[in-house]
Amino acid sequence: MAVIEIDGVRKRYGATVAADDVSLTVERGEIFGLLGPNGAGKTTLVECVSGLRKPDAGRIRVFGLDPRRDRARLRQVLGVQLQQGYLPEALRVGEAVTLYRSFYRDGADPRRLVADLGLGEQWDSPFGKLSGGQAQRLSIALALVGRPRIAVLDELSTGLDPHGRRNIWEIVERIRDTGVTVVLVSHLLEEVHRLCDRVAVLDRGRVVALDTPDALVASEGGGQRIRLRVSEPLDLAVLEALPGVTGVREDDGELVVSGTREALPVVTAELVRRSVTITALRLEEATLDDAYLAITGRATEENPHD
């Protein structure tokens, strides 16, 4: 069942197109990723869904509610963690969560929520004294304190170290496990691949791809990347012509062969046939990074004048 329906949404600020005919649906209980470079229109879309901005055209429904007309009802079921939402420096963790709890009809127990997010010891700490990760977890607590059915999390791991990032990811998975639908805005591919059930790739206001992370990887050739060093110079065209090979390039003395899973035996057989010795070989699974670069790169080529 779709809990968020976005249909033909357009939004522009002056000459900048932030949303260009965006259509997508978010299903109940999934972690849905909005992925894209800075300025792709991710935050604009989230702001339209939250009722903070009115689209120039198109239709948005969240649980069948119009985000602007039915604002008061929407607020009770949609928890939003905005990018750049700070708190007064002197406000303490416990005070903030208790205050935000009082805004909602129904909500979580502030002390338990804070403890669940690993901030139990910071209950009396002022916001200004929190580390980046703690502030981000408090921000999530404020988005969850009204027991929302959908949580929108915008760039939640920005500025965190790898440890803090993993910590936040576990929290997001736990949120989903409690039945909350999560919309995750991110430009971190590792984060999206690890967390999201489906992901929409946005580029300059357009949805340029929408699928599961694995399907996105597969759609862009998927498979593998073979990095190898050989004993003597080799004509790249020889490898390119082989079945299963989708691309060959040289990278700092290494040959990088992209292709399907059949490529490895074919390439090694060809090298043996030509009596070329392989001095080093490394196999890499294609990642979402590759797919993402291919998808957004193609979008740029198709619209070079944007």
Partner 1 sequence: MTEPIIAARPGPAAWARLTLTEAKLVARDTAGLVVPFGLPMLIMVMNGLGADRTPVPAFGGLPALDAYIVPMTIAMVVALIGIVNMPSFLAAYRTTGVLRRLSVTPAHPVLVLVAQAVVSLVQTVLGVALALALARLSFDLTVPRSLAGAIGVFLLTVAAMYAVGMLVAAIAPTVNAAVAIGLALFFGFLAMGGGFGGREHLPGWLADAGAYLPFGAALDLLGDCWAGLTPEPGQLLALAVTTVLSGAAAAWLFRWD
* 13 lies in the binding site for partner 1 (CB under 8 A): no
Residues 100-119 that bind partner 1 (CB under 8 A): 100, 102-105
Cβ proximity to partner 1: between 51 and 223 the closer is 51
Residues 113-152 that bind partner 1 (CB under 8 A): 142, 146
Minimum distance from residue 165 beta carbon to partner 1 (Å): 22
For the purposes of burial, counting CB atoms within 10 Å of the CB of 163, is it exposed (0-12), middle (13-18) or buried (19 or more)? Answer: exposed
**Torsion on CA atoms 124, 127, 133, 137, rounded to nearest 10:** 70
Cβ proximity to partner 1: between 145 and 201 the closer is 145
Minimum distance from residue 80 beta carbon to partner 1 (Å): 4
Nearest to 76 by CA among 101, 57, 53, 98: 101
Check: CB of residue 60 under 8 Å from CB of residue 51. no
Residues 57-96 that bind partner 1 (CB under 8 A): 63, 65, 70, 72-78, 80, 82, 84-88, 90-91, 95
Cβ proximity to partner 1: between 62 and 291 the closer is 62
* 237 lies in the binding site for partner 1 (CB under 8 A): no
The correct pick among 2, 5, 52, 266 for binding partner 1 (CB under 8 A) is: 52
Minimum distance from residue 305 beta carbon to partner 1 (Å): 32
- Neighbour order of strands in the sheet with 254-259: 245-251, 254-259, 224-230, 278-285
* 99 lies in the binding site for partner 1 (CB under 8 A): yes
Size of the residue set binding partner 1 (CB under 8 A):
31
Cβ proximity to partner 1: between 134 and 296 the closer is 134
Q: Is the dihedral of CA 88, 92, 95, 101 positive or negative?
A: positive
Cβ proximity to partner 1: between 74 and 216 the closer is 74
Check: CB of residue 267 under 8 Å from CB of residue 242. yes
Cβ proximity to partner 1: between 91 and 215 the closer is 91
- Give the number of residues written for the chain: 306
In the complex, the residues that contact partner 1 under the rule CB under 8 A are 50, 52, 63, 65, 70, 72-78, 80, 82, 84-88, 90-91, 95, 98-100, 102-105, 142, 146
